[in-house]
Chains A and B, each alone.
Chain A
Amino acid sequence: MDISSRLEVWQQLAENCGLITVQQGLQQVWTLLLLCLICRLCFRLGGVSTLKHVVSVLAGMYSLFLFFELQMLWVLLFSALCYFVLLLTQHSSTRGIFLSAVILVYLLVGELHLIDMVTWHKIRGSQMVVAMKAISLAFDLDRAAVAGLPSPAEFLGYVLFVGTVVFGPWISFSSYKNAIEGRELSWMWLWSSSISLLKSQLCLLVSTCIAPYLFPLFIPIYGNTVTDKWLRAYENAVSFHFSNYFVGHLSEGTSMLAGAGFTEEKEHIRWDLSVVKPLSVEMPRSMVLVVTSWNIPMSRWLKTYVFKNAMKLGTFPAILVTYTASAILHGLSFHLGAVLLSLGFITYVEHVLRKRLASIFSACVLSRPCNSGCSHKHKKGFWVVVLNLVFSFLAIFHLTYLGSMFDPGVDEREVEEGYAAIHTIQRWSDLSWASHWVVFGCWVFYRLIQ
């Protein structure tokens, strides 16, 4: 393809895909943004805190209605259920575990087709945020990090907080309380939220109009029959990643716009909520970092409320429990479960292998970059860089493989309802289960050098 015809196709793409996508993206979120702004101004105006919580609940409910119409009742029902459970177990000290069990049952019931598939797939994201908030609150109550059971208005105001209810992210109860206080409006606040929203639109554009046509239209790499499969898989993976960055940056934008997500250093307020780090996913150091950069608040939640609680069982079981919890929260669909469990194995093997290699060579090849005071002898040597690069490419390979299944399905219903098990197996066997074999190989290698 020569330059002129390439330009022509780009132009066509811009006209036929780019404009429409941006237009629809804005069309679907502008009311949500407006609601966030209104909420922020209401919090700023002051008044009784109960009134503020009620405003938060109402705005949250209206934004849910905008996206899910009457199906938002499921989310409301779920929130009410959570509060009811917290109320019942007021005097116990295992509220966290108990609430988690109830939520697990609720999600299982929902998953067993009691709610129709399209609806379930649509509200899953919101449901997940509500579940995470309720569970974190329960554990905080157990640890007495939160003083007493919040009032219903406070609780609903927290779980239905307009800035996070549709697209996430998870925020802690204390950050919600901070947001309610209504810090002063500043240029930094407006600037940070606008930048996040701009980034989200860019990511949407990349996800729909650039990633699916990456090879050879944007990067002139032509595949043969073998590599072509992998190039297509990479396109699908990148498209899926960018869709996640779109949601991540959008959620950053909405929650900052609504007044949550800042850190306070003495008198200085920094609006620095960060949900995704695209660069550490697209150019990863390790799969462990990919998993944490994928959705930072969520991985923080998993670490604080699941991993640390499960550490009593030992490291590997704790990792498995964490990924299982994540899979359940994501809605127990086969394909997400398969991806998350594979991720669990991949990150575990990567972690132990790199740890072993680091101690054998005394080099900075751990999953996470060394901090300045580490005891490794080799920090920046040529072969250290090469070894880290090898692991980076391995991570990209795993990501391509895992992301290959999120292709725009041939059948439109499939995308709406979530993919079927057969779809996952089909995609992965097309790539001859390469990633799983590689993980197995790495594990054998690790056992040999142990």
Chain B
Amino acid sequence: MRSLALLLGVKAACILLVSSLSGTGAVNNSGRWWGIVNVASSSNLLTNSKNVQLVLDPSLALLSRRQRRLIRQNPGILHAIAAGLHTAIKECKWQFRNRRWNCPTTHSPAIFGKIVNRGCRETAFVFAITSAGVTHAVARSCSEGAIESCTCDYRRRGPGGPDWHWGGCSDNVDFGRVFSQEFVDSSERGRDLRYLTNLHNNEAGRMTVSSEMRQECKCHGMSGSCTVRTCWMRLPSFRTVGDFLKDRFDGASRVVYANKGSNRASHRADPRHLEPENPAHKPPSAMDLVYFEKSPNFCSYNGKTGTLGTSGRTCNSSSPGLDGCELLCCGRGFKTRTETVTERCHCTFHWCCHVSCLNCTSTRTLHQCL
């Protein structure tokens, strides 16, 4: 009976492997948890984080059993996850606001659309930034005391501790990292190239948050001597994380699946690993983003690949760059229209405390891709 089950399991794994390698059609759990950002905003689910029953709500079926268990074990963390996801999406949209792919999201549970089932640079970025978002938000909530199972990082506190000058209640980035690893990575299944790539990019996002975290200190003493120091750890602002990941996006490395036959001694211990497609390149570091297929050009609508196209996008007629009409509209040209906008202006502050403004009307010229 047990051997039968094992056989079935292996068979299922094989099917999963084959179907995901072929890249189309198969149901993929990758990043299904992202859907909770819509769930969270559409219901009052998050208003009462203390109530354990809520996380058993069927609308959270998007989460795997393990993820649901994690949420149950860490009361209050659902808030942080949803907030982190929200920030990540906002940051993704901001970083890509001028590009053909501008990080479009939908209101369906598959929030980033079909791009996540591909293996291009954009996919890599989505995985990295969401994982970073969760790490960041969980670490922050920790230090705010909003998550019951974690508080300030007491290991780093006070004289006599292992490292006495790291005082105070630092943002608990370690908890954020470990939690995010458990939570985010558990939605990945398989042993194939896509699995490895996604895990690598998730890790890159987390690493970015913890490596950008810095300690800030100040010395106090008679005339600037250092008798007393006050220190605190500071998480990077999420914009810093976004900027960093965007840089990594531009320099992402294309990888291939390295099988057991690899003759590199260093990799013998772990048969499953990624190698740069071009053997002359360095292997990607832990903070590099990796991808394995070429990005589509994102110019026109394609239901199969899930690209929306750039028609209707606003472009900048004077810019020669990626946001310029020439490149953004893929040479299709653009139409120009003028718009009258009414804005609040000449605001003055009256003591105390209200602000009064005038309404100003101005005309703006808009260029839109055909």
Contact = CB atoms under 8 A, between A and B. Distances in A.
Contacts of B218: 207-208, 239, 243, 408, 415
B167 A27 contact: yes
A167 B227 CA distance: 8
The 9 closest A-B pairs by CB, nearest first: A125-B222, A20-B168, A125-B225, A124-B225, A125-B221, A24-B167, A20-B232, A24-B230, A243-B220
A416 interface: yes
A182 to B, nearest CB: 27
B169 A23 contact: yes
B230 A416 contact: no
Nearest to B168: A20
Given A16-B234, A208-B230, A167 B222 contact: yes
A25 B222 CA distance: 15
Interface in A226-262: 239-240, 243-244, 246-247, 251
Interface string A127-144: 011000000000000000
A122 B226 contact: yes
Interface string A43-82: 0000000000000000000000001000000000000000
A415 B222 contact: no
A424 interface: no
Contact of A168 (B219, B222, B229, B230): B222
27 contacts: A15-B144, A16-B234, A17-B232, A20-B167, A20-B169, A20-B230, A24-B232, A67-B228, A122-B226, A123-B225, A124-B222, A125-B222, A125-B225, A125-B227, A126-B227, A128-B223, A167-B227, A204-B230, A240-B224, A244-B223, A244-B224, A247-B221, A330-B224, A406-B224, A408-B217, A408-B218, A412-B215
A15 B235 CA distance: 13
Given A16-B143, A16-B171, A125 B223 contact: yes
Given A20-B232, A244-B224, A416-B229, 4 more contacts: A28-B228, A124-B221, A243-B219, A412-B215
Contact of B222 (A19, A129, A240): A129
Contacts of B225: 121-125, 128, 331
Contacts of A23: 168-169
Nearest to A28: B228
Contacts of B144: 15
Contacts of B216: 408
B62 interface: no
A188 to B, nearest CB: 27
Contacts of A207: 218, 220
| Size bracket, chain A contacts | 35 or more
Contacts of B228: 25, 28-29, 67
A25 B168 CA distance: 10
B158 A122 contact: no
Contacts of A121: 225-226
Interface of B: 143-144, 158-159, 167-171, 215-232, 234, 355
Nearest to A208: B218
Contacts of A247: 220-222, 227
Contacts of B230: 20-21, 24-25, 28, 204, 208
Contacts of B219: 243, 415-416
A412 B221 contact: no
B236 to A, nearest CB: 12
A84 to B, nearest CB: 25
Interface in A377-420: 406, 408, 412, 415-416, 418
Given A16-B143, A21-B232, A166 B169 contact: no
Nearest to B234: A16
A172 interface: no
B158 A27 contact: yes
A25 B220 CA distance: 10
A365 interface: no
A197 interface: no
Interface in A1-41: 3, 15-17, 19-21, 23-25, 27-29
Interface in A306-359: 330-331, 336
Interface centre among A20, A121, A415, A416 (most CB of B within 10 A): A20
A293 interface: no
Nearest to A203: B220
A166 B220 contact: no
B158 A19 contact: no
A367 interface: no
A295 interface: yes
B221 A24 contact: no
A129 B223 CA distance: 11
A19 B218 CA distance: 15
Interface centre among A24, A166, A247 (most CB of B within 10 A): A24
B226 A24 contact: no
Nearest to B143: A16
A92 to B, nearest CB: 30
Contacts of A19: 169
A53 B214 CA distance: 46
A204 B227 contact: no
A11 B73 CA distance: 29
Contacts of B223: 125, 128, 244, 295, 330, 336
A331 B221 CA distance: 13
A321 B111 CA distance: 73
A374 to B, nearest CB: 33
A247 to B, nearest CB: 6
Contacts of A124: 221-222, 225-226
A331 to B, nearest CB: 7
Contacts of B226: 118, 121-122, 124, 415-416, 418
Interface string A166-177: 111000000000
A126 B225 CA distance: 9
A123 B158 CA distance: 20
A67 B227 contact: yes
Nearest to A242: B220
A19 B168 CA distance: 9
A397 to B, nearest CB: 21
A16 B213 CA distance: 13
Nearest to B235: A16
A16 B229 CA distance: 17
